[in-house]
Amino acid sequence: MSMLRCLVIVVGAMLLGIAGAQAQQAAAAKPTKPAKPSAQKTIGLIATMGEELTITTLAKNAISDQERRFGVENWKISDRVAKAVSSQLGKGFKIQRISAPANAFLQLGNPGFFSPNFDRNYVRLVSSIAGAQKADFYLAITPGYSRISAGDQIARGMGVIRAETLLSKKDVVYTLILYRVFDREFRLVKSEGAFLNKGPLPETIIGPNTVLEGKQRLPTEAYATATDGRTQELLTALLDKDLAATLPKLFPHK
C-alpha cells in the first residue's frame, strides 16, 4: 500500500471520528421532551347545606322548649361552599359540581337511635344524586349534627339556640357541617365535621359555634333573630372558618 493511500485512510478515519463526536454532543445538547403529566383527578362535589335556619329556645323545662325553622334561600350557602371548595382544591383537582336538591340531606332524618341506617341511606343518596356523572372521588358537604340535651335533642345545619333556663341565659349560634369523601365506587374514604358529639351542658354545641351573652344576644323573638343581619354574618363566618380548616385535611397535598 502506498504512503499516499495510507495517509488518505488515516485522515478519513479522523474525520469520521470528529463527525461522530460532534453528533453525540449535538444529541446531548438537544432538550428532551418532558414526560406527559398524569391525568388530573376529578372531584364530584355535592354541596347542599340546606336552606333552613333553626331557632331553638330551651326553656326552664323540656316541655316548654320551642323550635322554629325559617327559609334562608337568599343566603346561597351551598354556592358559598362550592366556591370555597374550588378555591381550596381547584389547583390540584378538577372540581365537577353535581346539582342536588337544597334540603335533600335534611330529609334523611337525624342519625342515632331513631335512624340506625343513617350512614347507609346517606351513601345511597350520594350515589343517587351523582347518577351517571363519573368522578375519581365524590365529596359531599351537608348539614352536620350535635346533641344538645339529656333527652338527645339534636341540632343540625345552621341555627341559634336560645337558653332561657335558671342556670343559663345566652345564645349559641352554630354552623354544623358534615364532610364525607367517597371513592369512585362510593366507598367511604374519609369523614370529618360535626357528627353527634355531645357537650357537658344541655345548651353546649360540639362544632363551630359562637356564644353570645348579655347585650351581645340576638333579638328575643325568633323571626327577628332569623332576619337580623348579624345572625347571617355570624353563621357565614363560622362556615368560612370551618371550610378553610377542614378542606385541606380531606385531600392533603403530597
pLDDT tens, residue by residue, 89-115:
998 999 999 999 988 998 887 786 667
- Angle subtended at Cα 237 by Cα 231 and Cα 241, rounded to the nearest 5 degrees: 150
Q: Cα–Cα distances in Å, from 197 out to 147, 173, 194, 204, 238? A: 6, 17, 7, 10, 18
Q: What confidence score (pLDDT) does residue 71 get? A: 95
> 1-14, pLDDT tens digit by residue?
555 455 444 445 55
Burial state string for 60-82 with b = 16 or more CB within 10 A and e = fewer than 16 = eeeeebeeebbebeebebbeebb
Nearby residues of 210 by Cβ (< 8 Å), 6 or more positions away: 172, 173, 174, 234, 237, 238
> 207-241, pLDDT tens digit by residue?
899 999 999 999 989 999 999 999 999 999 999 99
Its pTM stands at 0.80
Nearby residues of 81 by Cβ (< 8 Å), 6 or more positions away: 47, 49, 141, 239, 243
User: E-assigned strands of the chain?
Assistant: 42-47, 52-58, 66-71, 94-97, 137-143, 145-147, 154-156, 158-164, 169-175, 177-183, 188-193, 195-198, 209-213
Q: Confirm or reject CATH 3.30.160 for domain 42-250, answering yes or no.
A: yes
Single-letter amino acid code for the residue at 199: G
Q: Are 78 and 184 in contact (CB under 8 A)?
A: no
Give domain limits for the chain: 42-250
Q: Are 184 and 218 in contact (CB under 8 A)?
A: no
118 has pLDDT over 50: yes
The mean pLDDT value for 137-166 works out to 85
> 6-43, pLDDT tens digit by residue?
544 444 555 445 455 555 555 555 555 554 555 789 99
> 70-88, pLDDT tens digit by residue?
999 999 999 999 999 999 9
| Maximum alpha-carbon separation in the chain | 123
Q: What confidence score (pLDDT) does residue 165 get? A: 72
Report strand pairing: 158-164 vs 52-58.
parallel
Residues in the chain: 254
